[in-house]
Structure 1
Amino acid sequence: MAVQIDSKIIDYEVARADAEAKQAEASEKPEAPGLDIEHMHEELQRPERLEGQTYKIKTPLSEHALYVTVNDVILNEGTEHEIRRPFEVFINSKNMDHFQWIVALTRIVSAVFRKGGDCTFLVEELRSVFDPRGGYFKKGGRFMPSLVAEIGDVLEQHLRSIGMMEAETLDEHQRRYIEKKKAEVETRAAQEPIEADCDDSTAEYPPGAELCDKCHMKAMVVMDGCLTCLSCGESKCG
């Protein structure tokens, strides 16, 4: 069949025998219904029941412990798009000294949760708060610059547990490097015995180790003329 061409030819392709059949099949195939995926937003109504976890914070700054509860909402439950997102946070304690700022903090953080999107920035913001009276070392030797910073630490634990944040792990090269440095320090300590620190919370690292600005552990020692952290591998020499 002859076809009259009224416009200028600018491109061409060779038609295959099954091209028309495939095109007809595609046009007859019904369109897949749009996936109604629910995301976190401000208009989302609070369900009658939420799942969550409660974390205990015991600090030397207070006689009474703080209990931080983070409740999560499950979106798209029962589907392949099911996700768990933080919805609200509560902080409770017998100590009423910090009542006002605790109430304010829980309301602001809960509001950020309900806005949706990436809320992981809260962890760094809270952990960057320093107490002018000084911080403290928690069990295990990790330094906490303030009570607010430890609440941020708890929030990080929770976001990691629900998959919103990934755990910071050392790669194989870093792990071998730290193990090598630990062995060198232990050998040197055995040759030149130093009186042990009475604080057993940092007994894993050599006495006299300095505080690391990155992981907040007293694990910075001088190796090859450079301060190196035996916990996270941070080095002042790059």
Structure 2
Amino acid sequence: MAKKIEQKIVNYQVLKDAEPEKTTKPARTESSEQDKVVHLHEKLQRPEMLVGSTYKIKTPLSEHALYVTINDIILNRGTQHELRRPFEIFINSKNMDHFQWIVALTRIISAVFRKGGDVTFLVEELRSVFDPRGGYFKKGGKYMPSLVAEIGDAIECHLRMIGMLRDEGLDEHQKKLVAEKRAQYESAVDSNHSAGDSDDFPEGAQLCAKCHTKAAIQMDGCLTCLNCGESKCG
């Protein structure tokens, strides 16, 4: 039907047949799922409850043990992107000699945890700290250069438990060599026990700072070494 235009034309537009809207949801499904994945970063709010583990550290340098607690946050719970990552660390002990630097260390490590990303470098950094007074051997014969290094060892154990660190494994030759060395060590330990060498000093004696022997005990209120006679009382 024709219509007469009685006014001046100031604008015009060409009308087309209505086209069905193209659905793009299937193509963006994967990207939309990725957008919903929560990553650990420093602005992530702390949940009311965190899952954690506590590790006991008993050294010959102190009569009181240290308890290292590492709490984890679970990201994307119930999905295929679920991850368990360390969120904070606390260290508690009856020994207050190291209270100041332990508090500082836990705050710094917790801040690194909350940054996210690869935090496994902390293990090597802490295990590279050496005590100028000398290290000690922990149970099982493993040498610890310092108390800080053993805290790093506890963090390594936790990262392995949650899957952030994995053992590369040994080949057959290395396994055979380790088994031979273990057998030699166990035979040497058995011979020492039979000879009575392990009973020279009292059980629970601490490491002497002078002769580096586990022979220091509390006598008359002072730490005295039964091997070299070193005493804090002079």
TM class by shorter-chain length? 0.5 to 0.7
CA offsets per residue over residues 11-67 of structure 1, 9 Å max, x none? xxxxxxxxxxxxxxx988732431111111011000000000000001110111000
Shift of 1:172: 1.8
Residue matched to 2:146? 146
Residue matched to 2:99? 99
Determine helix, strand or coil for the equivalent of 1:54.
Answer: strand
Out of 27, 30, 52, the position equivalent to 2:26 is 30
Determine helix, strand or coil for the equivalent of 2:88.
Answer: strand
Q: 1:96 to 1:181 in 2, by over 3 A?
A: closer
Shift of 1:106: 0.2
1:89 and 1:162 map into 2 onto residues whose CA distance is: 15
* RMSD across aligned positions (CA): 2.6
Q: 1:27 to 1:163 in 2, by over 3 A?
A: same
TM alignment of 1:15-94, pairs within 5 A:
30-33=26-29, 34-35=32-33, 36-94=36-94
Larger Rg: 2
Q: 1:123 to 1:28 in 2, by over 3 A?
A: closer
Amino acid at match of 1:118: D
Amino acid at match of 1:147: L
Residue matched to 1:234? none
Structure 1 unaligned spans of 5+:
1-25, 201-238
**Which contiguous aligned blocks of 4+ residues in structure 1 show a shift greater than 4 angstroms?**
26-29, 180-183
1:180 and 1:66 map into 2 onto residues whose CA distance is: 34
Determine helix, strand or coil for the equivalent of 2:52.
Answer: strand
Shift of 1:170: 1.5
Structure 2 unaligned spans of 5+:
1-21, 200-234
Shift of 1:174: 1.4
Determine helix, strand or coil for the equivalent of 1:70.
Answer: strand
Shift of 1:117: 0.4
Q: 1:45 to 1:136 in 2, by over 3 A?
A: same
TM alignment of 1:197-216, pairs within 5 A:
198=197
Amino acid at match of 1:71: N
Q: Between Structure 1 and Structure 2, how many residues are aligned? A: 169
2:27 and 2:165 map into 1 onto residues whose CA distance is: 36
Amino acid at match of 1:31: A
Tell me whether 173-182 or 157-166 shows the greater mean CA deviation: 173-182
